[in-house]
Amino acid sequence: MADEATRKSVSEIPLLKTNSGPRDKELWVQRLREEYLALIKYVENNKAADNDWFRLESNKEGTRWFGKCWYIHELLKYEFDMEFDIPVTYPATAPEVAIPELDGKTAKMYRGGKICLTDHFKPLWARNVPKFGLAHLMALGLGPWLAVEIPDLIAKGIIQHKDQQNS
């Protein structure tokens, strides 16, 4: 389903062990630790491959996550804020990543700027519950979405680089 480069980068993200969600108290803390470990490893890998493209952090309970992602197009770096909640049925259901500033700008976006993950991501997630985690959500969900949508939005003039906006 994915090409060599994606499969390679995803295979270097460690898989998670604990199958618990935000209602599970003790086990959720364990799951959160594994999430952070996987995310840290993924970001380290990205830095080493000169492809550091996102940052994430969460609230204390680990139920609300927010951060930034970047996309480089024609030598310009575009930055977007992103956020998501952990749904009660996590990890059976994946979180819905939202980019609020792009709300309504692409054909298939949901309330609040949630990106459409249905076709390319959700079936893959479902087959790999609970081994996939937030790092995989980034690598297989948000990443490909940015790669397809951002160039398209730029070409249509719907988003502009902030340097151009200030002039």
Partner 1 sequence: MATVEELKLRIRELENELIKSKQKQSDAEHHLRPKIVKMSAEVVDSNPYSRLMALKRMGIVQDYEKIRSYAVAVVGVGGVGSVTAEMLTRCGIGKLLLFDYDKVELANMNRLFFQPHQAGLSKVEATHNYNITTIDNFTHFMDRISHGGLEEGKPVDLVLSCVDNFEARMAINTACNELGQIWMESGVSENAVSGHIQLIIPGETALLILTVYLLFLPYLLQRKAAERPKQEAVQEEEEEVVVHEDNEWGIELVSEVSEAELQDASGPVPDLPEGITVAYTIPEKDGGSGETVEETDQSLEELMAQMKKM
Question: What residues line the site for partner 1 (CB under 8 A)?
Answer: 1-3, 5-7, 11, 13-17, 22-23, 29, 32-34, 36-41, 43-44, 47, 55-58, 62-63, 85-89, 92-94, 96, 111, 120, 122-123, 126-129, 131, 143-144, 147-148
Active site (annotated) includes residue 116: yes
Q: Can you say how many angstroms the Cα of residue 145 is from the centroid of all Cα atoms in its chain?
A: 9
Q: Which is nearer to partner 1, 59 or 165 (CB)?
A: 59
Residue 157 φ/ψ region, left for φ over 0, alpha for ψ in the -120 to 50 degree band, beta for the rest: left
Q: Three-class SS string for 35-59? A: HHHHHHHHHHHHHHCCCCCEEEEEC
Residue type at 151?
A: P
Nearer to partner 1, 98 or 159 (CB): 98
Half-sphere exposure (CA, 13 Å, Cβ side) for 39?
18
Q: Quote the least distance from Cβ 108 to partner 1, whole Å.
A: 11
Residue 19: DSSP 8-state: -
Nearer to partner 1, 6 or 160 (CB): 6
Shortest reach from residue 21's CB to partner 1, in Å: 9
Which residue of the set 116, 124, 129, 154 is catalytic? 116
Active-site positions read 116
